Amino acid sequence: MTICFVFSCNHQGLQRTCKMFRFPANPMLARRWERLCRRKDRSVNAASDRICSCHFKDGIKDNGPTLFPWSSVFDFEDPNKISRRTVKTETEVDCQEMCVTSSDVNVTSDTFVPQLPPHSHDHSYQLTIEQMIEEHKNLRLQVKELTRQIQTMSLKRAFTLEDIIGDERKVC
């Protein structure tokens, strides 16, 4: 039973679906055929190895093996034709326009108000300047309140077991 020498081809000589051709006697041509078969697991045994006629144009041995599964479909581009230039997308351009720099910001003693560029679209999820100022004031008030709470908690004396033992009212 002879199996085709080409990598990933399972055609067998006993099935009579195709002819099986011997490797050529010319060593240069035989090496060329062996390279085309892409077999790295073993080398050609000229006495027993064959290539089926499915790999030859029109099934004729003189045409040489040219038809292989890996040479019929190219899913990749030619490396010489690949463009190395990067194209800016619309979102990158919008992001660059919306960036706020230090020169765009007016700082006063109480508030931090960035000068935002006008919107280039029909909707916006950003806060307006007035909303940002109001939120800033509210956050400052929260910080002051939390700071006051921390100070009052640090001034309170820690509750210990000795306090309970020393005070008859706390003992049940």
Task: Return d(Cα 15, Cα 65) in angstroms, integer.
Answer: 20
Q: Please, how many CA atoms are within 13 Å of residue 165, restricted to the half-sphere of its CB?
A: 3
pLDDT of amino acid 121: 58
pLDDT at 142 over 90: yes
Task: Return d(Cα 41, Cα 83) in angstroms, integer.
Answer: 37
SS3 65: strand
Q: Which tens digit of pLDDT belongs to each residue from 40-70?
A: 777 777 778 888 888 777 878 787 777 666 5
Task: Please tell me the pTM assigned to this model.
Answer: 0.38
Beta-strand ranges (E) seen in the chain are 20-22, 50-52, 105-107, 112-114
pLDDT of amino acid 102: 47
Q: How confident is the model at residue 29 (pLDDT cuts 50, 70, 90)?
A: confident
What six digits make up the tokens of 116? 């935002």
